[in-house]
Amino acid sequence: MQRRDFLKLSVGTAATAAFASRANAQSTPKEIRIGYQKTGVLVITRQQAALEKHFTPLGIDVKWIEFSSGPPMMEAMNVGSVDFGAVGDSPPVFAQAAGAAIVYAAGQPITNGQGILVPKDSQVRTIADLKGKRIGFTKGSSAHNIVVQTLEEAGLTYADITPVYLTPPDAGPAFANGSIEAWAIWDPYFAIGETKQNGRILINSREVTKTNSFYIANREFARNHGAVLQQIVDVTTAAGKWAEQHRDEVAKSLAAITGVPLDIQAVAANRANFVVGPVTDEIVATQQGVADRFYKLGLIPKPIVIRDIVWRNPAA
């Protein structure tokens, strides 16, 4: 499929006209600020300039802001510096518990590409062997949830390990030099650790739990620009459909945008799921389980109800 064909998936004359009609009923932003990380559908969307091609004719600029992980993106979104972005399952839980002004706009099941790594020569062979070990991960990230649920699988508690809170760029060197004995992480860092830093996959997240990633929007943006938000989701969904069928091109796009070597992004692209869809009842139930577990462990200060911040397009 050529780029012009890809764009037909996301932008059509009828769709643009319908958007313009809905947008006139609301205020139209001059700029959309998109938060992204070094992997995923939004990177493809940026490489294809799909949002720009859709919104520029309507007088709306698109600005891209890169983050190393989800928690700082949620902080930026809460204060209104980011309008829309993609994160794993845990950042929005921590953000909602802190009263952040966010909503869930779309969901994406994660079927591969994240888990826990140990050095190839490590004596850690089972989950139970993690007891007493230093495990590096980003606090409040999807990796945090992986650690918690993996420990439960083996009958261990959070107190049985020593959590070492590190951002992905800091955790990689710590893993390579032995400062941490295991690393919970997602692609492309998962692939980097596995292929370039002498890592061995101890557990893939899909072996212990269902996980999802999410497309999150600032609450006020969703309230004031619902038609625009729906179009962002639609274009992103189309990009995901295209990516499912063009993984080699996806790897090239990921490498070009992020600077992560092509061979690493090829590993990540070939095992990723790119299907974007609504936040279904099943996804809500899975996410509620994450929130309840974190509250039980004292990792968030109060219980929360995920469904309370799931955005529904009022025009749908």
- Ordered by start, the domain boundaries in the chain are 31-110+211-309, 114-207
Positive or negative, the CA dihedral 156, 162, 168, 173 is negative
Contacts of 257-262 with C-beta under 8 Å, sequence gap 24+, read 257/43, 257/46, 257/47, 258/38, 258/39, 258/43, 258/188, 260/38, 260/188, 260/192
The CATH number of domain 114-207 is 3.40.190.10: yes
Q: What is the dihedral of CA 205, 206, 208, 211, to 10 degrees?
A: 80
31-110+211-309 fold: D-Maltodextrin-Binding Protein; domain 2 (3.40.190)
**Sequence-separated contacts (24+) of 249-254 with Cβ below 8 Å:** 250/44, 250/274, 253/43, 253/44, 253/47, 253/48, 254/38, 254/39, 254/43, 254/44, 254/47, 254/188
- H or E element in which residue 104 lies: strand 102-110
Mean pLDDT by 10 residues, the chain (316 residues): 45 43 64 93 94 97 95 97 96 97 95 92 95 95 91 92 95 95 94 92 89 96 96 97 94 87 92 94 96 93 98 81
Other Cβ atoms less than 10 A from the Cβ of 34: the count is 20
Residue 84, phi then psi, degrees to nearest 5: -155, 140
Distances (CA, A) of 305 to 88, 110, 118, 289: 17, 22, 35, 10
Q: Would 31-110+211-309 and 114-207 be classified into the same CATH topology?
A: yes
Q: What distance lies between CA 91 and its chain's CA centroid?
A: 9
Largest interatomic CA distance in the chain: 62
3 state SS of 310: strand
Amino acid identity for residue 90 in this structure:
S
